[in-house]
Amino acid sequence: MSGDGSHAVLMDRVYRHTRHIYDPTRKYFLFGRDRVLAELDAEPGHGVLEIGCGTGRNLMKAAALYPDARFFGVDISSAMLELAGRKRDRMASLRARVRFGEGDACSFDPNALFGVGSFDRIFFSYSLSMIPDWQGALGHGLTLLKPGGRLSVVDFGDQSGLPGWFKAALLRFLSIYHVTPRTALPDVAKALAAQQGTDFKVETKRILKGYAQLITIAATPGNGAGAQG
């Protein structure tokens, strides 16, 4: 993101008011989020981290799907985290299982935030397209993945299978919210996984003719990914 805090200020400004209607409106164009949650396959005792958790919507849905796992969310926007915390605290069953922390996606220290050094499942849901140094954020996420763990990304794709007028209109709309589709994501994911080690498997799937893309990076057990904690 941005070490000088400018991105945090921008995100708070963008979402200070719209955060209250974020969840009801985003369901109409953030496709694939629930697919990622359904495919987490979090087992009892697993730690699940969302980087760029926003309002906490995804983590709270995931916590309902996997009642024996622990959930952690990081975001740079204090305004979004304030809303996420209030939503969680209204559900007594989630207070001890879902935790939020404020931090930069490229450099946050999970041990300092949560007392946890690595995770079994990590995911980005429509957040990389809002992070200036998105490659740095993805790379940092990979360093936090446990051996045998899995990192997933769902975000806007290249829209190559959709009409040109639709793509142009979508890009204009997304720019209002400082969103830029990361069309190089599949290649970058493969390159970053290769830097981490040879025992990573990367899968790429297109959603709705390229409207969105789903990237999964699986770490083979024993490959040494991440740090135990």
Within-domain flag for 145:
yes
Q: What is the mean pLDDT of residues 17-22?
A: 49
DSSP state of 107: T
Q: What is the pLDDT of residues 180-224, one digit of tens each?
A: 999 999 999 999 998 887 688 999 999 999 999 999 999 887 654
Which structural domain, as residue segments, surrounds residue 76?
6-219
Cα gap 126→124, rounded to integer Å? 6
Residue 87, domain CATH: 3.40.50.150
For residue 226, being part of any structural domain is answered with no
Could you give the number of structural domains in the chain?
1
pTM of the model: 0.85
Q: Where does the pLDDT of residue 16 fall: very low under 50, low under 70, confident under 90, or very high at 90 and above?
A: low
For 41-75, the pLDDT digits (tens) are 999 999 999 999 999 999 999 999 999 999 999 99
What is the predicted pLDDT for the residue at 50? Answer: 98
In angstroms, what CA-CA distances link 161 with 156, 173, 174, 207, 211? 13, 19, 18, 10, 8
User: What's the pLDDT score for residue 199?
Assistant: 80
70 belongs to a structural domain = yes
